[in-house]
């Protein structure tokens, strides 16, 4: 059974960089039929797509966050990472990683439980 686990600091100071890792177990991040996405949910708000990465390193980002986001894949560690720079309180959210299946309507068939990141001084 594929499992995804997000990890990283739960508290980040304003203007600093948020860094999260998604460790995938029970399967490989390599594969042409799927890719890996990051999604977040601010308190009291809906889900927001942050961006995605293929194991090859090809990425795509939400235009509203593109200038501050870097998503990467490390096949040797079977991990996917998210970096969000110059954070503000508006970046406080639960951050999820998910596997996205291309031939399943680009839907997220496996998700991590999410990790809460608060931005505060």
Partner 1 sequence: QSALTQPPSASGSPGQSVTISCTGTSSDFGAYDYVSWYQRHPGKAPQLMIYEVNKRPSGVPDRFSGSKSGNTASLTVSGLQAEDEADYYCSSYVGSNNFWVFGGGTKLTVL
**Residues at the site binding partner 1, with contacts judged by CB under 8 A:** 4, 35, 37, 39, 45-49, 52, 60-63, 96, 98, 100, 104-114
Instruction: Give the phi and the psi of residue 61 in degrees, each rounded to 5.
Output: -130, 155
Nearer to partner 1, 8 or 114 (CB): 114
CA distances from 43 to 12, 20, 38, 93, 94 (A): 16, 18, 17, 6, 8
Shortest distance (Å) from residue 70 CB to partner 1: 15
Task: Judge whether 33 and 54 are in contact, CB under 8 Å.
Answer: no
Shortest distance (Å) from residue 83 CB to partner 1: 18
Beta bridge partners of 69: 84
Shortest distance (Å) from residue 94 CB to partner 1: 10
Nearer to partner 1, 78 or 108 (CB): 108
Shortest distance (Å) from residue 61 CB to partner 1: 7
Nearer to partner 1, 63 or 76 (CB): 63
Rounded distance between C-alpha atoms, residue 61 and residue 52, angstroms: 6
Nearer to partner 1, 48 or 74 (CB): 48
**Pairing label, strands 48-53, 34-41:** antiparallel
């Amino acid at each position: 059974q594929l499992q995804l686990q997000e990890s990283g600091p739960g508290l980040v100071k304003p203007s600093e960089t948020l860094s999260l890792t998604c460790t995938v177990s029970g399967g490989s991040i390599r594969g042409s039929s799927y890719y890996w996405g990051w999604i977040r949910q601010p308190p009291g708000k809906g889900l927001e797509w942050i961006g995605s990465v293929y194991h090859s390193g090809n990425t795509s980002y939400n235009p509203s966050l593109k200038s501050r986001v870097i998503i990467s894949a490390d096949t040797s560690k079977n991990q996917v990472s998210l970096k969000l720079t110059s954070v503000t309180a508006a970046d406080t959210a639960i951050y999820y990683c998910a596997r996205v299946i291309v031939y399943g309507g680009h839907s997220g068939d496996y998700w991590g439980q999410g990790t809460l990141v608060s931005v505060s001084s």
